[in-house]
Structure 1
């Protein structure tokens, strides 16, 4: 058995799963020092430590070291100020090197052994010369990490059409695949601007209730199908999936709505 904790990088909602080797109990909202392949950083606990079989997981993203101290918080704040200055320098260097990349933010590891720059780009970027410039300037290991449009929206934050903060920048962990079929299952308008998030991709929330919509659709007839009802043979012209109701019209174009219970009773 392994003891794991689910956590997120401070000031950047990047979810990781960390191994807790000493079995120390960790609680929600604890701030901890942990080490991943990117270095040592402060993380906030999203889910208290729990045990899982080694056969049920892939390799953890890193390991828990200890609970954060006041000195760790102070060091992280000072590092962030230096990282902001480093970002300004990097922006100028990108401009001078004429690289097609958009810098978002920068982050020092807690021990300052690594300086990470987050950026987006439409195509693959050869930034080897930029890395040499940055390494010479800051005398530490440099990592340029390209992120996608969803990750960019996560970092920038904002408010969705629902009136709440973006899911990705508040509580959402890993990004799950979202397809246009999910919008079709909910009878939503397929106009891109209405079903796309700030990132320009399909909204993550389309997947939240997709299983329930698929289950309901299996119970209902398709639009355009002819069925037999208490009013005789009619054509299905619309569905209310949440209410499990269908809208129909008969040969005289009379519109009538039926519930699934009424249809099932008619079959009996």
Structure 2
């Protein structure tokens, strides 16, 4: 089936409360970049915190590539700013400050020694938790795809449940986010939609904490990345999708 149909069906998955999605245990959210944790899982993280259940975040890359032409925010400056934003977002969500792996933006590994090292770091971060949530491989960004590969290997080795959440995959269904070539998938989606209607204001504050990504805070690189209203309208809905055996 086409990715657009896959995602349309994902939007119709059962809408459930937290205890139906995660009956017990805690969750480790893997974010390819600082902000993916809030955009994709902000409702889940806020719900876990409100329920007094353990939730942690690992930020895979340093996010320093979003404004490559800025003189006011060269790589080291932007790296620190994005770290501060992610810490503020975690505070808004009520979860501990993320673990930052500081992999280069655009170069999260998919094989080799760095892949093995990253898998081990994820397994260590997931100690005592029952579930890993990571961006699905359908997300059309190499860091998101690599994060999914790392999550799959870590969950396999540690015997943890694995859930996939879409971020940029929604481009297949909503071209206003940025058109993308069609992709064929082997099966319809399996999973649930988490009802995050009660967490929307908290999620909004967490997303807005990533000021370098949602505003023109960095003024000297007009071609730099920014989350458009079209993107935010899709990602800031009162549900989040979590898939089993995600693409």
TM superposition score normalised by structure 2: 0.25
Query: As a proportion of its length, which structure holds more strand?
Result: 1
Query: As a proportion of its length, which structure holds more helix?
Result: 2
TM superposition score normalised by structure 1: 0.24
- Structure (1 or 2) with the larger CA radius of gyration: 1
